[in-house]
Chains A and B, each alone.
Chain A
Amino acid sequence: MAYSFPEEVLEHVFSFLSSDRDRNAVSLVCKSWYDIERWCRRRIFVGNCYAVSPEIVIRRFPELRAVEMKGKPHFADFNLVPEGWGAYAYPWIAAMEEAYPFLEEIKLKRMVVTDESLELISKSYKSFKVLVLTSCEGFTTDGLASIAANCRHLRELDLRESEVEDLSGHWLSHFPDSCTSLVSLNMSCLGSEVSFCALERLVARSPNLRTLRLNRAVPLERLANLIRRAPQLVELGTGAYSAEIRSDTFSNLADAFSACKQLKALSGFWDVVPSYLPAMYSVCSGITSLNLSYAAIPSSDLVKLISQCQNLQRLWVLDYIEDSGLDALAASCKDLQELRVFPSDPFGAEPNVSLTEQGLVSVSEGCPKLESVLYFCRQMSNAALIAIAKNRPNFIRFRLCIIDPQAPDYLTLEPLDAGFGAIVEKCKELRRLSMTGLLTDRVFKYIGSHAKKLEMLSIAFAGDSDLGLHHVLSGCDSLRKLEIRDCPFGDKALLANAAKLETMRSLWMSSCSVSFGACKLLAQKMPRLNVEVIDERGPPDSRPEGCSVERAYVYRTVASRQRLDMPDFVWTHDEDSSLRYS
């Protein structure tokens, strides 16, 4: 059949397949389909940069235009991965320079990107269009200057939540006058002031600009002029939202906002002066996404704003909103899909605001489309969790963080097993779960039995024994990422479920009870798993074999298990002498 169907036709058919899963499935049909597909694949997503090597990717997919990649494991966000561990972008950038002269897009998450890499990107690709660096680090504003100066067709420059060494705001002035292609600019993570003139001119000459996220250093007085030059904006991130209360500043701002008929998303709002919030009222009815997670203002002001946004789908907010504010949210925003509530004073001994489990219960009751939640609070009860599960069986993501990580049900002092059990039992589509509170092996039994669609699970300070881990590994059929810290899980469960680990992207275990001996055994048993022992106390074999390792990071890979950029506090299986870790 394959020989009677010209390649071009198959290629054309394949061009309608955008999902990686579909394309991967297609490549498995037969050898010629594999070959045709690999030549016409244009986008690739690598979930773990160490699961594969640049050489392997380049060899298989010679004509890529877009590369998306993730580096460090998620817990790196909370400083659990020591600096210097890895995830360097440079080897990839350097390898791709030769292989993909027509590369247009690079999206990286949790990787170390240097100015050198950025310069290389800016000079290597004639049609480079999109650079998205999420939670990356290792570069300075000099690297940004190279991108601005050399990428003549740049459409997107998005630095979300990256840690950039901010040498000066001068980088923005490197965009040449001829650059008119910008569609998205996100500089919200930067500290320095950029030249406001340069910024205004850049915005003015970018008719396709849809997303503009300013940094805190852009004062409110400048915002009106910027918005006025871009009434077509769909997503706006303000700078500091404070100024002396002046009616001309206010009316200027209000006028500018009223011209923005397409605005759907708002963010920024550092240092909010509540009197200026009404300047935005004209756009509120169209707003679907609101990020107020930096706005330290009282509940009443938050509620006044939110109740104008009846079409709100996503809300990120600080716990200043309190239970009363969440009640109001539940009453006015019936389209709400995602809610994130962050703590304003996480280390305070006493709660500074009146935000409890009740707020979450209200929202789960009042918002029928709610499917994704991240909620920080100080107390929780099984009753509340059970109610939430009953109200909202359509949860896809449920992440609960109780500030005291082993807090029991505050009403009964029992573990929160039953509550989370209800969540996994009722929410059959649950894909992501993070739990806190006093939890025993029982909750893991529930998870193993019910959470069949669960893909990512985060556990901290929970469980009693290996049985807990065993329930999860043996029961959760769709599990891809498992991250665990400070739990009494160890060797038995790990070794008993070794094969399962190859079906997952990765497993992270820190401050658990995994021994070096077990890590060695696992690596020997499973040649396609890289078992990294990350331990800053020195060579693991200088301690007794039963001693727990500080961290174990296990991931499947088709690349070498001895990555060349391993720092001296990481040990993996030595291929040459199979019984010895080098």
Chain B
Amino acid sequence: MENSTVEKEYIGDEELELGLGLSLGNASGEKGAAAYGNGGRILTAKDFPNGFACGTKRERAQKSASSSDPAALRQVVGWPPIRSYRMNSLLSQAKASNVAGEDDESSKKKMNHGGHLGFVKVNMDGLPIGRKLDLNAHKTYQTLAKALEEMFFSPSPHSRGGKEQTVKLLDGSSEFVLTYEDKEGDWMLVGDVPWGMFLNTVKRLRIMRTSEANGLAPKSQERNEKQKSKLI
């Protein structure tokens, strides 16, 4: 398979978007790129004079046969094809049955394993159209923030925020902060609670202007205590 330098330029940025799931170019990760290379030549029957057997495909097949990689699976948008309301319902039932053993190691594993299945809406001040993000594709606040920074502030020609510089949403240095609405309907600053706890309680996200987020500024300990008592 040829991969011209021109195509490489365009593929470059997309490789970062595995977790986003919205820009599909190489959403299936290495599987997609290997087989039909984004922007490459169209493969036809002529490329397979010996029948279907194509090196990469077989490698993939063997990989699949031995073990399906759940991490890779999660990066693929819309797979498995289950509606998000169904996934969200599965999750909340898993939680309900785990309530008793919250501190238990295995149920914690189960919780993180199940994660917050489904997509949450993300809105940004000033943009009428929101986006959806698969929280399950992230394990830390850092990757979440990075994904959102790329989604809303990416310096691509089709930039939505229209900003050229990289924006950091978590360190309070930019014009915008990342907030979320929790199960009780309160808006909180993202990053204060452990990731697992965040997953259990987040309903949706909002990228808010720092100037409007004043009431949410963490008062560190006081707030953390308030959080803990709320969530227990």
Q: Is the CB of A296 within 8 A of B24?
A: no
B198 within 8 A of A: no
Given contacts A84-B129, A347-B115, A536-B22, contact A441 B45 (CB under 8 A): yes
Interface residues of B in 16-43 (CB under 8 A from A): 21-25, 27-28, 31-32, 35-36, 38-43
Q: Is the CB of B73 within 8 A of A511?
A: no
Q: Is the CB of A464 within 8 A of B48?
A: yes
| Beta-carbon nearest neighbor of B80 in chain A | A346
Q: Is the CB of A296 within 8 A of B73?
A: no
Whole-angstrom distance between the alpha carbons of A568 and B27 in the complex? 22
- Give the Cβ gap from A525 to chain B, nearest Cβ, in Å: 18
Q: Is the CB of B36 within 8 A of A488?
A: yes
Q: Is the CB of B7 within 8 A of A347?
A: no
The secondary-structure label for the interface of chain A is loop
Most central of B22, B44, B157 by chain A CB within 10 Å? B44
Given contacts A161-B85, A408-B65, A543-B39, contact A550 B80 (CB under 8 A): no
A residues near B79, Cβ cutoff 8 Å = 78, 405, 460
B191 within 8 A of A: no
Q: Is the CB of B44 within 8 A of A465?
A: yes
A58 within 8 A of B: no
Q: B65, B85, B94: which contacts A407 (Cβ < 8 A)? A: B65
Q: Is the CB of B39 within 8 A of A548?
A: yes
B231 within 8 A of A: no
Given contacts A347-B73, A543-B10, A547-B38, contact A466 B44 (CB under 8 A): yes
B130 within 8 A of A: yes
- Give the Cβ gap from A121 to chain B, nearest Cβ, in Å: 23
Given contacts A347-B114, A349-B67, contact A467 B131 (CB under 8 A): no
Number of B interface residues at 8 Å Cβ cutoff, please give it. Answer: 70
Q: Is the CB of A547 within 8 A of B64?
A: no
Whole-angstrom distance between the alpha carbons of A490 and B73 in the complex? 24
B47 within 8 A of A: yes
Q: Is the CB of B94 within 8 A of A404?
A: no
Interface residues of B in 122-166 (CB under 8 A from A): 129-132, 134, 136, 156-158
9 other A-B residue contacts (CB within 8 Å) besides A271-B93, A296-B93: A78-B83, A79-B77, A83-B131, A347-B114, A378-B68, A410-B65, A442-B52, A513-B42, A538-B156
Q: Is the CB of B38 within 8 A of A548?
A: yes
Q: Is the CB of B45 within 8 A of A537?
A: no
What interface size band does chain A fall in? 35 or more
Whole-angstrom distance between the alpha carbons of A544 and B25 in the complex? 15
A239 within 8 A of B: no
- Give the Cβ gap from B161 to chain A, nearest Cβ, in Å: 14
Q: B27, B47, B83, B114: which contacts A77 (Cβ < 8 A)? A: B83
Q: B43, B94, B96, B136: which contacts A513 (Cβ < 8 A)? A: B43
Q: Is the CB of B81 within 8 A of A78?
A: yes
| Beta-carbon nearest neighbor of B13 in chain A | A537
Given contacts A413-B61, A536-B23, contact A293 B78 (CB under 8 A): no
A406 within 8 A of B: yes
B223 within 8 A of A: no
B97 within 8 A of A: yes
Whole-angstrom distance between the alpha carbons of A538 and B81 in the complex? 27
Interface residues of A in 532-582 (CB under 8 A from B): 536-539, 542-544, 546-548, 550-551, 567-569
Q: Is the CB of A345 within 8 A of B114?
A: yes
- Give the Cβ gap from B70 to chain A, nearest Cβ, in Å: 5
A344 within 8 A of B: yes
Q: Is the CB of B68 within 8 A of A349?
A: yes
Q: Is the CB of B43 within 8 A of A466?
A: yes
Whole-angstrom distance between the alpha carbons of A233 and B74 in the complex? 42
| Beta-carbon nearest neighbor of A551 in chain B | B24
Q: Is the CB of A161 within 8 A of B80?
A: no
- Give the Cβ gap from B119 to chain A, nearest Cβ, in Å: 6
Whole-angstrom distance between the alpha carbons of A294 and B91 in the complex? 11
A residues near B93, Cβ cutoff 8 Å = 270-271, 294, 296
Q: Is the CB of A467 within 8 A of B45?
A: yes
Given contacts A294-B89, A490-B42, A491-B42, contact A77 B52 (CB under 8 A): no
Whole-angstrom distance between the alpha carbons of A547 and B87 in the complex? 34
B82 within 8 A of A: yes
- 24 A-B residue pairings within 8 Å (CB atoms): A77-B83, A78-B82, A79-B21, A82-B22, A83-B132, A161-B85, A349-B68, A376-B80, A406-B31, A406-B60, A406-B64, A408-B65, A441-B52, A460-B79, A464-B43, A464-B52, A465-B43, A486-B28, A490-B43, A512-B36, A513-B40, A537-B25, A537-B156, A538-B156
Q: Is the CB of B68 within 8 A of A492?
A: no
| Beta-carbon nearest neighbor of B122 in chain A | A83
Q: 3 shortest A-B CB distances, which residue pairs?
A: A78-B78, A538-B158, A547-B39
Whole-angstrom distance between the alpha carbons of A415 and B96 in the complex? 40
Q: Is the CB of A464 within 8 A of B70?
A: no
Whole-angstrom distance between the alpha carbons of A543 and B40 in the complex? 12
B residues near A513, Cβ cutoff 8 Å = 36, 40, 42-43
Most central of A405, A442, A467 by chain B CB within 10 Å? A405
Most central of B10, B43, B57, B156 by chain A CB within 10 Å? B43
B62 within 8 A of A: yes
Interface residues of A in 497-517 (CB under 8 A from B): 510-513, 515
Whole-angstrom distance between the alpha carbons of A460 and B65 in the complex? 18
- Give the Cβ gap from B147 to chain A, nearest Cβ, in Å: 14
Most central of B57, B61, B117, B157 by chain A CB within 10 Å? B61
| Beta-carbon nearest neighbor of A271 in chain B | B96
Q: Is the CB of B82 within 8 A of A347?
A: no
| Beta-carbon nearest neighbor of B78 in chain A | A78
- Give the Cβ gap from B136 to chain A, nearest Cβ, in Å: 7
Given contacts A79-B119, A293-B86, contact A544 B6 (CB under 8 A): yes
- Give the Cβ gap from A174 to chain B, nearest Cβ, in Å: 22
Given contacts A408-B61, A466-B44, contact A79 B6 (CB under 8 A): no
- Give the Cβ gap from B211 to chain A, nearest Cβ, in Å: 26
Interface residues of A in 462-482 (CB under 8 A from B): 464-467
